[in-house]
Amino acid sequence: MAYEWKELALEDQPRNPLADFALNVMARFTAAEIGLSNEHRPMDRSSNFDQQWWLALVSVTPGLSIAGLLERAADFLPPDHPGSLVIPGEYSEGFRNRQDIDVITLYARRDYLNAANAANGAEQLGIETLLVSTPLESQTLSSPAEPFTPPDLKVPVTPNTVVTAVIDHGVAIAHDLFRRKNINGDLVLSRVDFFLDMDGTPDPNAPVPSTIGRVWTGPEINEILKNNLHNGLLDDAAVYRDLGLIDWKTRPFNACAHRLSHGTHVTGLASGYDASDVDGLERRIIVVQLPTRLVANTLGFGLEQAIEQAMSFISQQLVHFQVDEVAQQMPLVVNFSFGNFMGPHDGTGEVSRSIDTIMSNMEASSSRPRLLMMPSGNGNLSRCHAVINLTQTAPTAELDWQLQPADRSASILSVWLPVMTPVEDSTVTMRVTVPGFDTPHTLTAGMTPSYNWLTEQDHLGNAIILGLVVYQPPVAPTARGKFTIAVVPTDNPMRVGLVAPSGDWKLQFVKGNAVDKLSLNVWVQRDETLPGFPEFGRQSYLSAPSYNRFDVPGGKVISEDPVAHASPVRRAGMINGIACGNLPAVIAGYVSSDGKMSAYSAGGPTLNGFRLTGPDASAVSDDSVVLHGVLSAGSNCGSRVSMSGTSVSTPRVARWVADQFAQSPTTPFGRGNVVAKALNDDPPSPHKPSAFRTGGGRMELRNIFGSLRWPGQE
Amino acid sequence: MSNASNVAPEGAFGAFGAFSGSGAFGAFGAFGAFGGPGSANPPLISQALITNHDGIAGTWASVGADAVNPNVQESTDYLGRLSPAVRASIFALELGSHIGFSFEPNMTAGDPGLGSVFHLETTSASPVPDTKYQKLVALRRPTIDIFAEQLTLVANYADLRQDRMAEILAALGTPTEFLRAIAYIEPARTPFTIELLATAHWLANFVEMRLKYALGCKRPIEFSPQIQPMIWTPSHGSLPSGHATEAFTMARVLWLLLRQHNVKPYSQGIWGEMLMRQAARIAINRTVAGVHFPVDSAAGAVLGLTLGRYFVDRCTGVAPANSWEFDGTNYPGHMDFDWRDYFDPQNPADNIAPEQKETTWATESILTDADQNQTRSAPLDWLWQKAAAEWVDLAADIDQDTETGDGS
């Protein structure tokens, strides 16, 4: 075991360490996980790996259009690599010529992305920042040379129709709660008008073309439903086989074949109606299923990158709705029940910005309300947030970061400085001590980036990179300096080479003389296996002796930071890192029976002045202390299953929002209206949870499927 | 090792734990008799009866020649007085003695041969019966390449193990446990239906094990160390799947039984639909568990559906009308199992008879000269009538026609 620190020269430093980490440091692990295995010669995977396509969320140099971006790419890319960049066909000619595009999605290979991420990537390629996570399944991508011709589709609806869009994973769209009866009384009309399955294979003959995945239209779905209705029963497995959602030939994970699928449950709460329920007739659905690879990848910063494509897709389908044969945009509520721990938590991250931009554009162009719903997250007890306060009297603080053994996913931690431009050189240092390596490494915050590899020598004498320790000075619009540590998995069953040491990674922060006091925010990225997926990641976490998990050993879980606690590790501030933007309505979860916040339900504060306390409101995410979760649709027709988490409280509010839209389709409506309803439902009282956990308050919403489980409920 | 205690590592045949009293059928109180050691003889009672006899029997009084009439012979009246375990042996001979088997090796050495199952027609004994073989069903195994391609499906299906564990373990017992959740089967209410299903189960097992032995198909675990089945891999061959064979046999028998007396709901297609879904679920769960290829289920479905029909033919004295051949070498290697490829429940209520379906690998031949008289079995007929009587509707105003109208 011979560890070593290696510092990179300024000109060799990639600009986004996490993109570099995903593209290069993690390559040997990712290649093995996605089956590019060559068990005897792991190095041979690299050429195969270079052929993989990545979804990248990038911000473009101001003033540069997509057309300009392509010109620069053509100049850069060698002639034998003509195909390393794909601009989504969904971006119209007009959009491609705009010079104010900010954040867009690209599909690219590693050579382009590495060049874009290089120190000179901005001037060479016009890419200011980029986010990548894990390669896509190659068959899910097409390479449109030209912008798509917008399809001429007409979806006739009634004037009071509201569209509910769900961006999720594992959506069994054929569930009977999403169907209506035809004139013969057969339950074969889907209320899903558009379904983008990002795991699908693009079909050039499909009515709606797609760069990633397959778009299914209502009439196509209805045809499949009709063909698979036998003796009054839908053959679920056959429907999902026809849609490509269940395919045991090629896919090891088929969410819709499981009893419980996240997206089905969420969609059921957001817009599931019994066929006899008249409300359902005027609720239409758009579903986007995210790529399984991105969802399963517990690296943690991949999932939300697809949201820009998802939102663009939703936005483009709205033009097809017609009332009395006249095109009319309908009110839209979007539910995105996913979360993450990282990010600046101040609304300036790429994802938050792109969400806010798309929502404002949609709203401005339609004069109909549009609202995006997001969960506050389930990380309240995950010990993934710490606040380090350094003062003149206590200029030094220590924090332990625990990497678990048998963690097959990467572990990532970031430390954010306060807003500070410039950062003077003697502001703060971070020292990292790796378990089993007695030479710590110290980084100094300032205006100079610092980029360091932790390497270990393998049996052939090669230095293998196990992790990155990086400092980046503030970059607009996030005016905060940042330390980042990214570490490869601590375990892998395949022949991938050296893994990282698990155990106690010790961090020490020392304040310099440039400031009197300093508050640092630490967040650890989520890297846990998602429910239903095969065992993969194990969550790394922060530990401090003064953090008590239970009131007495073996006793009750403490779900709020005690008033006078001394621990740097906090429950507060564990709010979903991508739910800190200005526009989304963010929903926490509470327990119906006792009115307490669900222990996992994460809260603020955030660092965004427009939503300091965090969530906007809370809704029921657990029926009772013993009946965890709430009931909604299971994957198979007719089934109801329970699921808990802020993933389920959020769509309950989305359903209520849709009701409000239906009553008043042209009235502007924003998250403020959700807060108002919450304040009204939950007036101040000694038992009301703090605004940081519950936002405006605990919303009292009509129980949707709960009476099946607990007849006492309304 | 749980193997040592004989707790059903053999999977399908674990259902016959009933035979050895090991209690797969434990849940079925009444049916316990089927496998139990007969009436109990507690030592206390025996001791009591010995002293009791000494105490009260008195002087031996001899019995005269005409004091007792002889029993009838070869009469089904006698069956009702037998324990189910004894009847099971009788039914086994009725069925088993009319099954023939052959294995023809392929003309090309090493290529898959054909295992054939016959219905044996026999004339009355004078002094020994004449016999004629009618082909019922034949199976040819897939090539090793097809199995290898199928293995990816097995590997991917492992995804559902956590979801399906309870079902997979419960299905180590009899499929009756799953069929009884569809039809109103209950030991006190329908003892003969349970017995009939167990008899059909016996036939399926009797035939499938001989075929498995002949075809000698390797199990998934023998192809890759990464399958890691979640239950014991049985010692017998992979194709045809015993669970598929038995579940489809019993599902088809049960639906024909339910419709015997034209009771209203049972001729709705949904009953067949549900019974077939259940059989398919049992079959697919074996792939989830990691012990079967999808093609095993396909072969089992063709075999089971054929045997189910044949079993009812034997019970009701109908000549077999067709035979089926499953040619595994024509099975597309990437293909999953879908029961709808092999059976269409249609809707008998609308006079659209259910039918077994052909594919390029499962083909039908018409039998033209099967002799109806040679299928008759009085004991099986007795059992069928007893079981069918359990499904006569108790509705007040129903016009009960005792003849069945839809025949498949």
Q: Mean pLDDT over residues A269-294, rounded?
A: 94
- B268 close to A (CB below 8 A): yes
Of B153, B163, B340, the CB nearest to A259: B163
A250 contacts in chain B (CB < 8 Å): 156
Q: What share of chain A is helix, strand, coil (3-state, %, to 5)?
A: 25, 25, 50
Rounded percentage of chain B residues whose pLDDT exceeds 70: 88
Of B163, B273, B334, the CB nearest to A231: B273
Whole-number Cα distances in Å, B232 to A56, B49, B174, B224, B280: 46, 47, 17, 15, 21
- B270 close to A (CB below 8 A): yes
Return the closest-CA partner of residue A234 out of B340, B305, B295, B343: B340
Q: How confident is residue A300, by pLDDT bands cut at 50, 70 and 90? A: low
Q: Is the pLDDT reported for residue A137 higher than 60?
A: yes
Q: Mean pLDDT over residues A118-129, rounded?
A: 92
Nearest-Cα distance to chain A for B30, in Å, is 33
ipTM, 2 decimals?
0.87
Topology of the domain covering A385-543: Jelly Rolls (2.60.120)
A231 contacts in chain B (CB < 8 Å): 268-270, 272-273, 345, 347
Q: CB–CB of A263/A178 below 8 Å? A: no
* Pairing mode of beta strands B99-104, A640-643: unpaired
pLDDT in tens, A19-57: 999 999 999 999 888 887 654 444 444 578 888 999 999
CB contact under 8 A, A254 and B159: yes
Return the closest-CA partner of residue A222 out of A184, A263, A255, A271: A184
The DSSP symbol for A643 reads E
Q: Give the E-state strand segments of A158-239 in sequence order.
A: 162-168, 179-180, 189-190, 192-197, 214-217, 229-230, 233-234
CB contact under 8 A, B338 and A238: yes
Return the closest-CA partner of residue A321 out of A329, A313, A332: A329
- Tell me which of A187, A230, A258, A494 to substitute to probe the interface with B (most B C-beta atoms closer than 10 Å): A230
pLDDT at position A83 is 72
On the CB side of B407, how many CA atoms lie within 13 Å of its CA?
8
Q: Is A300 helix (H, G, I), strand (E, B) or coil?
A: coil
Preceding omega of B191 cis (within 30 degrees of 0): no
- Tell me which of B151, B157, B159 to substitute to probe the interface with A (most A C-beta atoms closer than 10 Å): B159
B266 contacts in chain A (CB < 8 Å): none
B347 contacts in chain A (CB < 8 Å): 231
pLDDT at position B197 is 98
CA-based nearest residue in chain A for residue B346: A231
CA-based nearest residue in chain A for residue B160: A258
What is the pTM (predicted TM-score) of this model? 0.91
CA-based nearest residue in chain A for residue B280: A237
Counted across chains A and B, CB pairs separated by less than 8 A come out at 47
Pick the CATH number of A585-708 from 3.20.20.100, 3.40.50.720, 3.40.50.200, 3.40.50.1110: 3.40.50.200
CB contact under 8 A, B338 and A251: no
Average confidence score pLDDT of chain A: 92
- B148 close to A (CB below 8 A): no
CB contact under 8 A, B156 and A238: no
Nearest-Cα distance to chain A for B116, in Å, is 31
pLDDT at position A430 is 98
CB contact under 8 A, B152 and A237: no
pLDDT at position A424 is 94
A239 contacts in chain B (CB < 8 Å): none
pLDDT at position B26 is 38
CB contact under 8 A, A231 and B158: no
pLDDT in tens, A63-104: 999 999 998 988 877 655 557 899 999 999 999 999 988 889
pLDDT in tens, B12-58: 443 443 433 333 333 343 343 344 455 788 999 999 999 999 999 99
Q: Mean pLDDT over residues A645-653, rounded?
A: 97
Q: CB–CB of B326/B140 below 8 Å? A: yes
- Tell me which of B156, B337, B343 to substitute to probe the interface with A (most A C-beta atoms closer than 10 Å): B156
Of A230, A258, A534, the CB nearest to B163: A258
Q: Which domains does chain B have, with CATH numbers?
A: 15-24+75-98+144-320+332-389 (1.20.144.10)
pLDDT at position B11 is 41
Q: How confident is residue B396, by pLDDT bands cut at 50, 70 and 90? A: confident
Q: Mean pLDDT over residues B205-230, rounded?
A: 98
CA-based nearest residue in chain A for residue B272: A231
H helices of A423-543, in order, are none
Q: Mean pLDDT over residues A306-332, rounded?
A: 93
Domain ranges of chain A: 385-543, 585-708
- B160 close to A (CB below 8 A): yes
